[in-house]
């Protein structure tokens, strides 16, 4: 009887160990470039070593999008091309490092290039990019190289994607639509959380004279008109840019330009210098801002724009036009059905801001103050914001005549409504001259010098008082996330801990009984 019991327990022990083996084998471990190239597009993989690849996954006569899981497990892929040609539905890439400082991805095609992937396929859903770090410089070599990002070049239309804890340390160079993480996103539903860009992002003036750039995303929203739709939105939360941003049109620390889609940016910080260096005569658009550069569109466009609890430390300069610490230009297209809702709340500017025309510590310019929020008519708002920096006429402006208006907010055809929503603290002698300003003579009522506006809208404070007002706002800007060591390496194999415990227990009991049986 004792021998039988010992045999049974031994079998259980072996089976329990086998179960552990099955659980731990959920992800196939790959250790070579050949194994990487041979991955099934929808498979589950984990890097078991650093590898060097010479070709993007999925490149061939036709592109094979990757829709599986790749866990880098902290390993590095050394490459001179994007790691993947394309990602699609259910793709998950995490815990991956791409290259080391000084490595370059030199992509000869004129479009779509990022260190992680060229693009994400149209209508893809459930795409997750988590804890991916790029150290490679993205170098433009083709004339007109555009849609370049530290991680992804372009995200096509109707995509649902999430970026969490991602970092770009490489320089990004291109002709237009350039971003520290992503170059261009068409109308989709995309979010960025706890992401950081430290690399310089620049327009290559040798290949383009009209290009936009930003620290996190270059441009969001396509050229097709979109109705109000939460499925087309971008959310950027707790992100940081420290890289220098240079563009020849729109430039921003976080997001350069949006069209016809909803935008929510919160708890973000820009510490890099932001420069829009448009230099062709005195015309053209060169909006620059610490957080959001500009909006644009045609008839039928609609966007809800909220920027909350963000701060700017970087110097912001526009050679030709508008510049601001937080938002540069909100344009609604001059159509009566084309309302925009733009609200800046609990934001702080600490940078020196200079431009060729309208310059503001918070929000430089809009052509219409009529806005709508879920069907309710509202007004552009600058609420509970603090300006600790300064405003001035740009030393690099190409405008021949003196055309600088330091104001809380500038207008074109709009007039200041009676219920205009402002609560702003400005440090004294910051250079702001006007509460509001317009170049349109027909709306001269909107030319209001600071101090002549209704009482209580703007508070002029000493440096100490302004600092106190900023502190009173509470948490503002980026906070480095606390990274906790997970109990298990992979949530998908979390049950392995239970299997291991059971196996250990059964093993001990089995060996004990077997030993006693033999002794008896």
**pLDDT single digits (tens) 18-40:** 444 444 448 999 999 999 999 99
Q: What is the pLDDT of residue 210?
A: 79
Q: Give the residue with greater pLDDT, 10 vs 211.
A: 211
User: Is 310's pLDDT higher than 60?
Assistant: yes
Residue 231 in any domain: the answer is no
pLDDT over 60 at 157, yes or no: yes
Strand partners, 376: 373
* 464-499 residue pLDDT tens: 999 999 999 999 999 999 876 544 444 444 444 444
Between 381 and 426, the higher pLDDT residue: 426
Is the domain of 492 the same as that of 417? no
- Are 377 and 402 members of one domain? yes
Q: State the residue range of the domain holding 520.
A: 484-520
Indicate if the pLDDT at residue 504 is higher than 60: no
Q: What is the pLDDT of residue 286?
A: 82
For residue 298, being part of any structural domain is answered with: yes
Q: What is the pLDDT of residue 376?
A: 53
What is the SS3 assignment for 53? coil
Bigger pLDDT: 23 vs 143: 143
**Residue found under tokens 């297209």:** 333
Q: Name the E strands within 225-350.
A: 233-237, 240-241, 245-247, 251-252, 255-259, 262-266, 269-270, 274-276, 288-289, 292-296, 303-308, 311-312, 316-318, 323-324, 327-330, 340-345, 348-349
Q: Is 109 helix (H, G, I), strand (E, B) or coil?
A: coil
Same domain, 417 and 520: no
Residue 488 lies inside a defined structural domain of this protein: yes
Q: Please answer whether residues 120 and 184 qualify as being in contact, where contact means their C-beta atoms are separated by less than 8 angstroms.
A: no
> Are 350 and 491 in a shared domain?
no
444 plus 377 within the same structural domain: yes
What mean pLDDT do residues 145-174 have?
Answer: 95
Q: For residue 281, tell me if it sits in a domain.
A: yes
- The yes-or-no verdict on residue 458 having pLDDT over 90 is yes
Please report the pLDDT score of residue 511 as a whole number: 42
Tell me what pLDDT residue 397 has: 76
Per the structure, how many domains does the chain have?
2
Average pLDDT over residues 212-227: 84
Please state, rounded to an integer, the average pLDDT across all residues of the chain.
83
Q: How much is the pLDDT for 225?
A: 56
Note the pLDDT of residue 416: 58
Residues 399 and 511 in one domain: no
Helix then strand count (H, E) for the chain reads 4, 53
Q: Assess whether 341 and 433 both reside in one domain.
A: yes
pLDDT exceeds 90 at position 410: no
Q: Comparing 21 with 423, which gets the higher pLDDT?
A: 423
Regarding whether 450 and 492 lie in a shared domain, the answer is: no
pLDDT score of 499: 41
Residue-wise pLDDT tens digits, 223-262: 665 665 667 899 999 999 999 999 999 999 999 999 878 8
Percent of the chain scoring above 70 in pLDDT: 75
Is the pLDDT higher at 484 or at 266? 266
**What is the predicted pLDDT for the residue at 490?**
47
pLDDT at 7: 45
Cα–Cα–Cα angle for 250, 253, 259, rounded to 5 degrees: 45
Angle at 190 between CA 184 and CA 195, to 5 degrees: 85
Q: Is 291 exposed, middle or buried (0-12, 13-18, 19+ CB in 10 A)?
A: buried
Is 456's pLDDT higher than 70?
yes
Q: Residue 366 — pLDDT band, cuts 50, 70, 90?
A: confident
Using CA atoms, how far residue 517 sits from 7, 88, 124, 365, in Å, is 10, 58, 61, 87
Pairwise pLDDT comparison (503 vs 30), residue with the higher score: 30
**Residue 433 forms part of a structural domain:** yes
pLDDT band at 368 (very low <50, low <70, confident <90, very high): low
Do 361 and 406 reside in the same domain of the chain?
A: yes
What pLDDT digit, counting tens, does each position of 378-407 carry? 556 899 999 999 999 988 776 666 677 899
pLDDT at 455: 65
Average pLDDT, stretch 3-18?
44
The per-residue pLDDT for 221 is 87
Centre a 10 Å sphere on the Cβ of residue 194 and count the other Cβ atoms it contains: 21
161-175, 213-227, 257-271 — which is least confidently predicted?
Answer: 213-227
Residues 397 and 430 occupy one common structural domain = yes
Q: For residue 131, is it within any domain?
A: no
Could you tell me if residue 427 is inside a domain?
yes
**361 and 501: one domain?**
no
| pLDDT in the model for residue 145 | 83
C-beta atoms surrounding 481 within 10 Å = 12
Give me the pLDDT at residue 422, please. Answer: 86
Quick one: DSSP state of residue 492?
G
More confident residue, 319 or 517: 319
The pLDDT of residue 515 is 40
Same domain? 520 vs 474: no
Share of the chain above pLDDT 90, in %: 57
Task: Classify residue 411: in a domain, yes or no.
Answer: yes
């Amino acid at each position: 009887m004792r021998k039988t019991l010992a045999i049974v327990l031994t079998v259980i022990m072996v089976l329990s160990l086998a179960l552990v083996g099955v659980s731990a084998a959920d992800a196939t471990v790959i250790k070579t470039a050949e194994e990487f190239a041979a991955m099934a597009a929808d498979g589950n993989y984990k890097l078991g070593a650093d590898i060097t690849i010479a070709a993007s996954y999925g490149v061939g006569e036709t592109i094979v999008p990757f829709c599986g899981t790749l866990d880098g497990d902290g390993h590095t892929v050394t490459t001179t091309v994007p790691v993947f040609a394309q990602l699609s539905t259910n793709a998950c890439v995490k815990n991956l490092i791409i290259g080391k400082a000084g490595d370059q991805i030199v992509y000869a095609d004129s479009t779509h290039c990022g260190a992680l992937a060229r693009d994400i396929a149209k209508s893809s859903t459930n795409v997750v990019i988590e804890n991916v770090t790029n150290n490679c410089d993205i170098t433009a070599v083709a004339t007109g190289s555009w849609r370049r990002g530290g991680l992804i070049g372009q995200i096509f239309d109707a995509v649902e994607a999430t970026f969490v804890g991602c970092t770009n340390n490489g320089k990004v160079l291109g002709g237009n639509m350039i971003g520290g993480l992503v170059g261009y996103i068409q109308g989709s539903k995309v979010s960025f959380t706890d992401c950081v860009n430290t690399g310089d992002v620049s327009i290559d003036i040798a290949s383009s004279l009209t290009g936009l750039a930003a620290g996190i995303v270059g441009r969001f929203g396509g050229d097709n008109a979109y109705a109000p739709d939460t499925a087309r939105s971008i959310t950027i939360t707790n992100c940081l840019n420290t890289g220098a941003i240079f563009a020849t049109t729109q430039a921003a620390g976080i997001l350069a330009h949006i069209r016809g889609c909803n935008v929510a940016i919160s708890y973000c910080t820009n510490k890099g210098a932001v420069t829009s260096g448009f230099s062709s005569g005195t015309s053209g658009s060169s909006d620059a801002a610490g957080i959001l550069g500009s909006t644009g569109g045609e008839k039928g466009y609609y966007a809800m724009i909220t920027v909350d609890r963000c701060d700017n430390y970087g110097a912001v300069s526009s050679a030709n036009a508008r510049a601001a610490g937080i938002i540069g230009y909100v344009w609604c297209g001059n159509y009566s059905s084309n309302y925009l809702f733009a609200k800046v709340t609990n934001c702080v500017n600490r940078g020196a801001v200079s431009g060729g025309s309208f310059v503001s510590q918070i929000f430089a310019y809009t052509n219409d103050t009529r806005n709508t929020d879920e069907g309710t008519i509202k007004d552009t708002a600058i609420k509970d914001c603090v300006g600790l920096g300064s405003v001035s006429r740009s030393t690099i402006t190409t405008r021949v005549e003196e055309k600088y208006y330091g104001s809380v907010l500038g207008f074109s055809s709009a007039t200041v409504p009676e219920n205009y929503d402002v609560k702003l603290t400005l440090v004294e002698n910051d250079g702001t001259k006007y509460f509001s300003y317009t170049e349109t003579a027909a709306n001269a009522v909107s030319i209001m010098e600071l101090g002549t506006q209704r009482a209580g809208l703007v508070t002029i404070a000493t440096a100490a008082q302004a600092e106190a007002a900023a502190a009173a706002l509470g948490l503002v800007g980026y906070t480095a996330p606390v990274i906790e060591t997970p109990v298990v390496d992979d949530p998908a194999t979390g049950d392995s801990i239970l299997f291991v415990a059971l196996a250990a227990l059964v093993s001990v009991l089995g060996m004990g009984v077997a030993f006693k049986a033999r002794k008896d």
